[in-house]
Structure 1
Amino acid sequence: MTEARAAYYFYVVQCADNTFYGGYSTDVQARVATHNAGKGAKYTRQRLPVTLIYAEQFATQHEALSAEWHFKHQSRRAKEAFLAAHGAHWQR
């Protein structure tokens, strides 16, 4: 019997105030639902609703968390360039 491997994701949501929030999860859809229920990150609770605009799967938790860290430490312009280069669509 084969054991299922966990999936690790870096994701980006666009908040109602048009800001971006990058996060990590093993279940992106459930995490976005948690954000929209007002039980997610403190940052998103005041900026509801959020819309998923990008998600990327990684082989390890470390890789996904690293992608999240790098995204969060970029300027808005760099975040938009990253998202555009990866085919994400968001409201401007």
Structure 2
Amino acid sequence: MNNYYIYIILCENDSFYTGITNDLIKRFDNHKKGKGARYTKLYKPLKYLSVWEVKDKKLALRIEYYIKTKSKKIKTLFIENNKSMPKYFNEEKNENIKIKSMNKNKLNKINEILKNKE
């Protein structure tokens, strides 16, 4: 079973796009090509801002929806401190789900790989 990632991308109009995938590189490439998400067809993705990892797709979809319901101010908080999103999610949902936050070094390496593919 593959792990799933919930991500927030910065788009060219300074907006955020939230989605899920089990392959971060392939999914970003698809966004760049205008495939899959209507929003990133209109507003090209620039880079990943934050990524979280969970064990299954169903949970990833729940967290994606949770993030999409939040204001840009709250999403910015999640980006600035990626460990805050799991904390807020678990508190608001009254759960204790393991949500792994991707560290900034790994996220920077993924963004560098994507940048070098251009």
TM tier relative to shorter chain:
0.7 to 0.9
Q: Percentage identity across aligned positions?
A: 28
Say which structure is richer in helix. Answer: 2
2:18 corresponds in structure 1 to 22
**Greater RCO (CA < 8 Å, at least 6 residues apart):** 1
Residue deviations 1:53-90, cap 9 Å, x none?
A: 2211101212211110011000111111111121769x
Aligned residues: 85
Partner of 2:7: 11
1:1-80 equivalent positions in 2, closer than 5 A = 5-80=1-76
Q: After the TM superposition, which parts of structure 1 deviate over 2 Å for at least 4 consecutive aligned residues?
A: none
Cα RMSD of the aligned pairs, angstroms, is: 1.7
Q: Contact 2:9–2:45 at 8 Å: present in 1 too? A: no
- Paired AA for residue 63 in structure 2: A
Amino acid at match of 1:25: T
What secondary structure is seen at the aligned counterpart in 2 of 1:33?
A: helix
Residue 81 of structure 2 aligns with an amino acid whose one-letter code is A
TM-score, normalised relative to structure 2: 0.66
Unaligned runs of 5+ in 2: 83-102, 108-118
Listed one character per residue, the Cα deviations across residues 15-47 of structure 1 (whole Å, up to 9, x for unaligned) are 000100000111111000000011130011111
> Where do 5+ consecutive residues of structure 1 fail to align?
none
> Cα–Cα, structure 1 residues 81 and 29, in superposed 2: closer, same or farther, change >3 Å?
same
